[in-house]
Amino acid sequence: MTNNSSKPKNFEEANFYFNSDKSRKNKISGVVQKSRSYEEILDPDYKGDVLIIDDDENILRSLSRQINSELAFWLGTNYSPEQVKATDNSLEARQIIDNLPDYSVVLSDYEMGYHNHNGVEIAEITKDIRAKAKIGFIIYSGSFSFSYPHNEKQSLYENSIIDDEIIKPTKPSEVMNTIIRTINKKTHS
């Protein structure tokens, strides 16, 4: 999203923004249903720790709720709500990554407002510690894909600054599939 007028104004709008496939009959937060093939995709070394960074509180709450719900569904009794941390502050995110390198993946908005680093800057600042700890980094944004020159974006992938991207709006299943793909790639690297 490039301007404030297109941002969700409340939790319900944010939930719809990330759950554009509400017509599906899936009642588990609109996320992919658990199946044998889906379980086979999930790496057995999966730690389940996810850090979400977004300056929009409504989107942050919506994503946190959806990811928490899906992790609880996947992991059953092995699930703990502490596995998902959310922050609207890039400086706090940096401290979390520096001090708690047991996260599997960071999911960050690209545009973080004037008082924050943007998602790529956070990825660049934390690159070394994430490389040592094998923490994946996913940018999600409505503007990153269109505003970032292709050759510069390709360089972010080649230099392991980011691992994947999600274009908003998206289905919750795409968010979860991207998280799993990134975790599995980092686990096996």
Task: Read off the pLDDT of each residue in 46-70 and give the average, rounded to a whole number.
Answer: 86
Domain spanning 46-187: which CATH class is it, in words? alpha beta
pLDDT in tens, 130-163: 998 889 999 998 776 666 777 888 899 999 999 9
The answer on pLDDT for 45 being more than 70 is: no
Neighbouring C-beta atoms of residue 118, cutoff 10 Å: 19
Instruction: Calculate the average pLDDT of the chain.
Output: 75
Cβ contact 176:70 at 8 Å:
yes
Q: For residues 130 and 72, what is the distance between their CA atoms, to the nearest angstrom?
A: 25
List the chain domain ranges.
Answer: 46-187
For residues 170, 176, 177, 183, the Cα torsion angle rounded to the nearest 10 degrees is 130
What is the reported pLDDT for 142?
A: 79
